[in-house]
Homo-oligomer: A and B are copies of this chain.
């Protein structure tokens, strides 16, 4: 439409303003995982985002979530923003979720520039939170501001849900969503989340699935204190020996999970799903190159993507309490915690996986005859999520991408887990779609996180087009 083109032009013309606004947002050290930065994590919601939303005319509620569980000294959780812009019963209502907290970052971690000073080099804007998730949140603001500046009516009602604990497990959010099920979320038609990434660097995507996760801590203690392996080695049933035996029983080098019945509930690959992998813009050889691996565990594009997205996998992450430094320490670690996790896919259930894992480990350990007690503690447990790529929300998202890029969006899933996605779906009973704007190489959570200026610009256009496409659904459904 002409009005959409004028929005696109407005976006193009205001990029420098958007970049300086993003600079301002990145400068707020809203690291949710670091108690020292809790004031800034509150500020980015209470002051920064609240002001921006009110400037756009939204009605803003700050929802307090109480004290952070386990924090010592006590510390309040950052508030969640629930805001409303528009309540026209003739329009669809889209709920936008995003987060304004960020991962920790220090120059000394290996950043080339100050992580809290947005620094643009060759079209890449480096800074903590640039792509995860301050850039996308500001993209929503900028699109709304463009509509208003051009006096074009915003074609949908918008509900905003912004939090400040996403990088620390979204503590308290699930309860809030459930409490607001029949109030704030009552009239939501679609949920849209822009907090993930394209599969590659060139083709935009809409994302319709996430794997779940079950994370386990395996506690083993073999003595009252760390022991010198020279003095006491040979007479102690060592905890490390027991743990390595357990770890080795979990998975083989090719990735096969060796826990009985673990694959029983994995959904069959239908021909319909199989067909979705063909058109995806993904090069196994480039991917192999990018990861720096000698040989991938699977050879073809569909197999690789399926094993990242729709088959379970098990990773051993490390050991707490063992020797981890450089050099040759001759210690028998006395109290260790082995960490591993399993990525869940439809239709695996965390509770059933917990049972299988515990029973497997108990059986394997008992067979060794070790007197050491092994305790398996599950710490996360989130099922997988998969959306319907043919419903109205995805149709709007796919059409929006097509309008901006003149090509089909890749239909992707994420191998990782964003548990709140599933909660949004459960609470609203409506379709959730992930509509990323960042590139696969944005390095979220890593050193030198960045957002490309072009992804920021085109991302805003996609979000604007998504508004229009959702509005079309309302129109077509009325006919």
Contacts and interface: CB of A to CB of B under 8 A. Distances in A.
Interface of A: 211, 213, 215, 217, 222-225, 227-238, 240-242, 244-245, 247-248, 251-255, 290-298, 304, 307-308, 311-320, 322-326, 328-334, 339, 341, 343, 368-373, 379-380, 414-417, 445
Nearest to A257: B234
10 contacts: A229-B313, A231-B416, A235-B255, A237-B295, A237-B297, A238-B315, A254-B369, A315-B330, A318-B329, A330-B416
A6 to B, nearest CB: 38
Nearest to A293: B223
The 9 closest A-B pairs by CB, nearest first: A224-B292, A230-B416, A318-B323, A318-B322, A234-B313, A248-B248, A234-B307, A244-B247, A295-B371
B247 A251 contact: no
Given A231-B308, A236-B291, 10 more contacts: A229-B315, A231-B414, A231-B415, A232-B415, A240-B247, A240-B315, A253-B368, A294-B373, A317-B323, A319-B323
A255 B232 CA distance: 12
Contact of A251 (B241, B296, B325): B241
A272 B251 CA distance: 49
Given A223-B292, A241-B252, A330 B317 contact: yes
A242 to B, nearest CB: 6
Contacts of A222: 293
A335 to B, nearest CB: 10
Which of A227, A231, A379, A414 lies at the interface centre, i.e. has the most chain B CB atoms within 10 A of its CB?
A231
A237 to B, nearest CB: 5
A306 to B, nearest CB: 8
A369 B244 CA distance: 19
Nearest to A343: B233
Contact of A235 (B224, B304, B317, B414): B304
A223 B322 CA distance: 23
Contacts of A241: 251-253, 255, 316
Contacts of A296: 235-236
Nearest to A332: B315
Given A231-B416, A318-B319, A415-B232, A368 B330 contact: no
A308 B235 contact: yes
Contact of A244 (B316, B324, B325, B334): B316
Nearest to A297: B235
Contacts of A324: 318-320, 322, 324
A315 B233 contact: yes
A230 B307 CA distance: 11
Given A213-B330, A329-B339, A224 B317 contact: no
A110 B247 CA distance: 32
A318 B326 CA distance: 10
Interface centre among A244, A328, A329 (most CB of B within 10 A): A244
Contacts of A317: 229, 240, 322-323, 329-333
Contacts of A307: 234-235
Nearest to A217: B328
Contacts of A315: 229, 233, 238, 240, 330-332
Nearest to A216: B328
A445 B330 CA distance: 12
B235 A380 contact: no
A372 B293 CA distance: 8
A235 B298 contact: yes
A343 B295 contact: no
A227 B369 contact: no
Contacts of A248: 244-245, 247-248
A328 B253 contact: no
A319 to B, nearest CB: 6
A419 to B, nearest CB: 11
A101 to B, nearest CB: 16
A35 to B, nearest CB: 14
B343 A297 contact: no
Contacts of A290: 224
